[in-house]
Structure 1
Amino acid sequence: MRIAVLGRTFSRQAGGAETYAVEIAEELAAEHEVHVFTQSTDQPVQGVTYHRIWCISPRPRWLNHLLFAWLTWRATRKGFDLVHSHELTWHGQIQTIHVRPVRFNLFVGVTNWHLLARWLKVLTSPRLLTYVVLEAARFKQKFVVATSEPLAVECKKAYPKTHIEVIEPGIRLPTSRMEKNHAKSHLGLEPDRKLVLFVANDFARKGLDALLGAMVLLKEQAETDPTFKLPLLMIVGGGLVSINSYQKKADLLDVGSDVRFEGAQKSMATYYFAADVLAHPTLEDSFGMVVLEALAHQLPVLISGMPYCGVSAKLQELSGVQILSDPRNSSEISHSLVFHLKASVASLSADKSKPNPMNLSASLDFLTQYSWIRSGERYVKLMHLIYAPV
């Protein structure tokens, strides 16, 4: 098949949704002719053809969405057997949904005059009207895919007449391991200082504000408890504007010297091996791929529970996983981090004949169900239902 893939940004460094699009395209490219239509890419997949779509400016975002939809419609309306869209577009036989629908946020659970007020707000806002109209067009397609079960539930509430398929992300297990102190040395870190890892591009939505608040509380504890040493918070991802803004916030909270911003990274393995815990107090994550990546590297995780993080519902029984009831609560985050950091110390000197609460071998067994090959095969099955040459 000759397949067009639509995504404004096509790069593993851009975030979970973008990584999902890249990985699925890579699986499809193994057997099909894949063309990627994008505004920005580092060309992460070999063997596909890249088409650069014109972008006046990323802002305002709603206008860029509209321009991207129109230009990709013109570019792909002929010459392709199938169009797979990861964006707000009215075209594309397969539409993959990565985030909560706009219609869900605006209208689900809203009644009477409140509903009328919401519609008036939409009709008087070019931004909201564009999102609502483009999204409604997406959900009219026959094949709509959600990337997690919780997201599929939200999609069904917003668009009850649409059939929603669920194809979750995959994971690539590391083929080799790096000793923790070696990984820390590679990153220029002290071997005896604990490391809390935070990975995100959208710092606010993924809970960095509350995590910085937790660092303040941890610093207070370190000043009064001689047995506790303040960990380093390492932040991977984000753009220059976000990094500068949050560095100023950290400085104002007097934890600036205990926070290190690394920016976007092509390879995360060294960071996972160096860290002692991944903190992911997200406020909205349809799945949470970074959590699975951390577990694949046998890194304990602290994550938001439902409804904030979709994957949390699947991880409640796993060792090395602690789930936050309120990701906005810096006190809960700090207490949970103390538990993880002390548990990691205890596990080094624990009696090996006793159960280890930080033993993540069960997590590796759990992760075998998440395969990009399997996810790609499910997309191929959908595509064959659409494209069935005689």
Structure 2
Amino acid sequence: MERVRGAGTVLVVLVVLGAPPAAGEELSGVFEDMAKHECHFINGTERVRFVERLIYNRQQYMHFDSDVGVYVGDTPYGEFQARYWNRIQERLDYFRAQVDTFCRHNYKVFTPFSVERRVPPSVSILLVPSSSQPGPGRLLCSVMDFYPAPVQVRWFQDGQELPEHVVATDVVPNGDWTYQVLVMLEIPPRRGVTSPCQVEHVSLEHPLSQQWEMPQDIVCSKILVGVGGFVLGLVFLVLGLGFYLREKRLSRRRLQPLPVASGPAGIPQSIPTQSSSYSTSFQNAKNYQTDLRTKKNQGDLRVKKNQMDLKAKKDWVDLRAKKNWGDLGTKKNERDLRTRKNRVDLRTKRNQTNLRAKENRGALRAKKNGTDVRVKKKQVELKDKTKQVDMRAKRNREI
């Protein structure tokens, strides 16, 4: 079933209190009265149905269906209005004729860019960072600028479809008679595993597939991080082991007893030792240990600083992604506002055209009425002249 809708919207804002509000005051109430026109086509223009819907504050209170031919009330107030409008035969004839004058006529206009129009999609795959889940990120398949709206996007991995690990947005209109959709794969990418995104659309003769493989820079960065961590750990292990063996050797030398010898007067004398050299080496060892601790603390500070920088960069990327999503929402709202404005303009132009047509019909009726009055006047004059002629004839006969 092909369906083309022509809709016009008229917004009426009323103030409940009656007087216009002064500057700075808020409105006490806002009400919306909308008329919506629809054309339903079945098998082209073989069968056409025109529907007018009258809505007040998002509630339909009356509608006109060309298959029924009269207004039908959907609420008690709508039933009252339907009885009034059904008594105006000219209005009923006008809306019954909309099947041909509005629907079938506009079908020829809308068909080239609404029914027969085909715009193939453009497909790209992006690696989006994820702050809530570990890993390098998630794959996002972006399908842009296609028409009509129905489209099917599927993710594959090693030749198998992944229907359960996919999150997709709604098909979003761009405002220029094209659409877009985003489909994310929740499984993180792995090295050596291909993840193609396949798109099927009526404008494509064959499904369009876009593959993604992990870039070499990501693989190299992971290898470098692993090798750097291993080398750093090995250096700390060697330094710690050397420091432990040095301390153990120095402690053994300090615990050895010093030999005692007797002097010439029987006074015990100690054998000269290298205590000063030992104290100097011990102090050097302490200084070396202090330097090692200082270097280790500096290394820890650098690691913490790098971690904080990575976290800040990750937060910045998340903020930028959120901002991009917000910009997409803002653009969508602007497109919706433009579409609504265009619909209001179309409705206004149509109302102006209807007013001109009514004025022309009124002028034609006025001319017709003037002509009828002149004809009647001439008929009366002819009757009077006929009576006068008859009177004269009677007088002549009597004479």
> Smaller-chain TM-score range?
under 0.3
Q: Which has the higher strand share?
A: 2
Whichever of the two has the greater Rg, that structure is 2
Name whichever structure is richer in helix by fraction.
Answer: 2
Instruction: Return the TM-score normalized by structure 1.
Output: 0.28
**Larger relative contact order (C-alpha < 8 A, sep ≥ 6)?**
1
